[in-house]
Structure 1
Amino acid sequence: MPSVSRRRTHIAMVGIPAVSHVLPSLEIIRELVARGHRVTYANDPAVAELIAGTGAELVPNKSELPVADNDWPDDPIAAMGLFLDDAIRTLPRLRATYDHDPADLYLYDIGAYAARALAESQQRPVLQLSPAFVAWEGYDGEVAANLWQLPGADAYRAKFARWLADCGAVTSDVDTFSGRPANTLALITRAMQPHADRVDTDTVTFVGPCFDLRASAANWTRPATAEHVLLISLGSAYTRQPEFYRQCLRAYGDLPGWHVVLQIGKYTDPRELGDIPPNVEVHSWVPQREILEQADAFVTHAGMGGCGEGLLAGVPMIAVPQAAEQFMNADRLVELGVARRIDTPQATAETLRAALHDLVGDAAVARRSARLRADALAEGGTARAVDLIENMLSDKTIRPT
């Protein structure tokens, strides 16, 4: 899609400091800067290094969300309350910056409620960048209604409504404000969206995962002796799983023809794993996308980012979900015919090895993986997302609703 406008504008991105929420849109920010726009990015200094690489100007916006130690409450209403409290605290700080330097367009992550409130109060266009699946027709009755029956839900909704009434937002309905934006770019492939046929495409556009597909593989090189490569990664948050990693070493260590890359995150000491087989390399962090482009299979926690990277690479996956929507994502990968789900208690060396042999030896899985890769690439990714953002900037009829 050709861009309608190339004029230099001020675009503000407002995010939360969870890596899984920052990474999906970084290439969009980088491309906006490359096209000559001035981009400011309001987020916690904890993710400043990630943002710096895009060329955007960091607007420090300290968050109290428990992303550093991953200490989220089990109660979903309590977890939702943390996001609301964070919005209440951060909105005055955003105003301190943007009331005298307003953006022409506000972009925001699904957890950054304060951005939408700010944009509405300034009567500026606003666009949500969703790194996860979006609501569908019937979502309120099928999913949200169950949440609103939980203890504490009434108090949460009342607090949210009071904040909306006091903060200058135009939208007063809690469900509409938090779950039904007028303009959303879904940064996931449509294949991963539940009930995709019931998503309102007048307000949601699926652009697919927005990664840098031009990135060089120089950050990791497939060993010349490797017949097959397996990547194992539980992402950035739920990585304190030494026993799972030991089972992986038993399953895939010294497996003939296989080279294994094991990412263990920052919460696990490599010494907890015992002896490392010679065909395994262990790291706290790896260039996941670059490795997947050279890999033959992927053991993943089924976070949406990992699912997107796996589908873009066209590799079969073993999904070992750890929390939240990852269980739903894992089931969706199985439905698509490109994965096996193994829950952590059942992730023994025997089940892990059997799943790998089952997947890589199945020609139908390979065909489905190739088709889904082509579908994901056809959604347009970063270039299409930025074209749509520029088109929105040039459309004088769009207003926050």
Structure 2
Amino acid sequence: MARVLVVITPAEGHVNPSLGLVTQLIDNGEEVIYVCTEEYRSRIEQTGAQIITYPFPQDAFSHDPVLKPQEYKHPYQFIYMMVSGIIRRIIPNVLQVVEDQKFDYMIFDSLMGWGGTILAEKLGIPAVCSIASFAFVEPLGSSSVLNETETKELYEATMKITTELAEELQVSIPAMEEIPAHAGQLKLVYTSRYFQPQAEKLDDRFIFTGPSIITRQDAPTFSFELLRERYPQTVYIAMGTILNKNLDFYQLCFEALGDLPVNVVLSSGKYTDMTPLANQVPPNFIVKPYIAQLDMLQHTDVFITHAGMNSTSEALYYNVPMVMIPLTSDQPLVANRVQELGAGITLNKHNLSATNLREALTEVLHNSLYRRQAYLIGESLRQAGGYTRAAEMIMSHMGSGRGSYTI
């Protein structure tokens, strides 16, 4: 039995994909120590892992100006966020809370980048990189629209923090392009080679196992019989856990879809105050603060989504085509790939209207080609092996690699 350290960025889209893997590792006999924040204690403990926490603001990715998702116009913006928002704040804390403990190998989140290299080096153990989105063949934000002065300032600010941290922790200073790289002996990607863009450029250290589909224990019940009594088709709307507080968007959905002969189920988010719209909800809408998404998708004909990687993968796993409104971060990349493979339509958030939302939904709802293409992607995800194969691959590889680290 190996003792495994798991260090994942405290965000829904990064913690959730790891839970099935951690559960399977424990079922296979490994001891897992999961370092994260208090916010995720309950769901981590449900896997059987021991959790060790460090201080970090709750829901930071919704409120913190550095961590809050944005459109990255240049790779340096993304790298600065990693260094100042994640590596600087998390890695020293992790080293402190696991001080004097011994581990055989570790699994760290790709959003920590160079931070994973630091942990592996300081602890003297091999590492697996957990990639909750696509593996980045090209840097995120590669449109390069910043001017020379802005680029120089970002570079200098990033390398200043990087140099200070490297000196503090007594590790070597990386080059700028090394900071966001997918480090580790293995790189675990929660998708399929078919769905991954430019997969041919990734070597065999990248292991594609499909999404980690695991039922949430705290999911509320929902009456799916009620849907069948109303209309034969159902549209599901959910914009993720970070970007779901836009009441103007929900009002636009009411206008666009309120008179269609379909069920529309809207997950507004636990912390979204829908009171201002209470008297505007159309009769074909069901609005809930939280819905068990995996259950809902199995009764959904079209999913209206922000194209976050988790939500997109879960929809495709259940063969659901999409209307996508990417907002930030990697969402445009994910949406473009879905549209490229014919499983959905992408709308531009900057010129979104009730008319084009309605037209896109009608097209996806009534053209069977989108569902057929969603099925093809979904089949590739289901055949990838999931967290069972992920655990087997990690244990097989790390069984011979324990006791040394090579990044």
**TM-score, normalised by the number of residues in structure 2:** 0.86
Tell whether 2:312 aligns with 1:318.
no
Which runs of structure 2 are paired with 1:282-297 in the superposition (5 Å)? 282-297=287-302
User: What residue number does 2:161 align with?
Assistant: 159
User: What residue number does 1:98 align with?
Assistant: 98
Corresponding residue SS for 1:261: strand
Corresponding residue SS for 2:61: coil
Superposed CA RMSD? 3.0
- CA distance in 2 between counterparts of 1:396 and 1:205 reads 17
User: What residue number does 1:118 align with?
Assistant: 119
Deviation sequence 1:271-311 (CA, Å, 0-9, x none): 22233233321122211121112211100001111111111
User: What residue number does 1:4 align with?
Assistant: none
User: What residue number does 1:84 align with?
Assistant: 83
Contact preservation (8 Å) 1:216, 1:290: no
User: What residue number does 1:20 align with?
Assistant: 13
Contact preservation (8 Å) 2:343, 2:370: yes
Amino acid at match of 1:69: H
Corresponding residue SS for 1:395: helix
User: What residue number does 1:189 align with?
Assistant: 192
- CA distance in 1 between counterparts of 2:160 and 2:205 reads 27
Match of 1:400 among 386, 398, 406: 406
1:238 is displaced (CA, Å) by: 0.9
1:145 is displaced (CA, Å) by: 7.8
Which runs of structure 2 are paired with 1:17-56 in the superposition (5 Å)? 17-56=10-49
User: What residue number does 2:356 align with?
Assistant: 351
Deviation sequence 1:251-289 (CA, Å, 0-9, x none): 223422x22210112453222223323332112221112
Tell whether 2:69 aligns with 1:67.
no
Deviation sequence 1:106-131 (CA, Å, 0-9, x none): 11112235443122122201111010
Contact preservation (8 Å) 2:234, 2:299: yes
User: What residue number does 1:333 align with?
Assistant: 338
The worse-fitting range, judged by mean Cα deviation, of 67-76 and 387-396 is: 67-76
Corresponding residue SS for 1:324: coil
User: What residue number does 1:135 align with?
Assistant: 136
- CA distance in 1 between counterparts of 2:176 and 2:168 reads 13
Tell whether 2:367 aligns with 1:362.
yes
Match of 2:211 among 209, 220, 242: 209
Indicate how the Cα distance of structure 1 residues 141 and 272 shifts in structure 2: closer, same or farther if over 3 A, else same: closer
User: What residue number does 1:279 align with?
Assistant: 284
**TM-score, normalised by the number of residues in structure 1:** 0.87
Amino acid at match of 1:81: Y
Contact preservation (8 Å) 1:217, 1:290: no
- CA distance in 2 between counterparts of 1:197 and 1:374 reads 20
1:206 is displaced (CA, Å) by: 1.4
Contact preservation (8 Å) 2:308, 2:334: yes
Identity of aligned residues (%): 24
| Gap runs ≥5 in structure 2 | none
Contact preservation (8 Å) 1:251, 1:353: yes
Amino acid at match of 2:324: A
User: What residue number does 1:245 align with?
Assistant: 250
Corresponding residue SS for 2:24: helix
- CA distance in 1 between counterparts of 2:273 and 2:371 reads 35
- CA distance in 1 between counterparts of 2:127 and 2:2 reads 14
Corresponding residue SS for 1:83: helix
- CA distance in 1 between counterparts of 2:329 and 2:90 reads 25
Tell whether 2:50 aligns with 1:57.
yes
Amino acid at match of 2:132: P
Indicate how the Cα distance of structure 1 residues 78 and 340 shifts in structure 2: closer, same or farther if over 3 A, else same: closer
Amino acid at match of 2:269: G
Corresponding residue SS for 2:286: strand
Indicate how the Cα distance of structure 1 residues 321 and 21 shifts in structure 2: closer, same or farther if over 3 A, else same: same
Deviation sequence 1:83-108 (CA, Å, 0-9, x none): 32443343343233333212211111
Corresponding residue SS for 1:40: strand
- CA distance in 2 between counterparts of 1:269 and 1:381 reads 36
Deviation sequence 1:202-242 (CA, Å, 0-9, x none): 22111111112799999434233241111100001111211
Amino acid at match of 1:179: A
The worse-fitting range, judged by mean Cα deviation, of 19-28 and 346-355 is: 346-355
- CA distance in 2 between counterparts of 1:360 and 1:264 reads 22
- CA distance in 1 between counterparts of 2:218 and 2:140 reads 46
Deviation sequence 1:149-175 (CA, Å, 0-9, x none): 613213413532453455254784453
Contact preservation (8 Å) 1:304, 1:326: yes
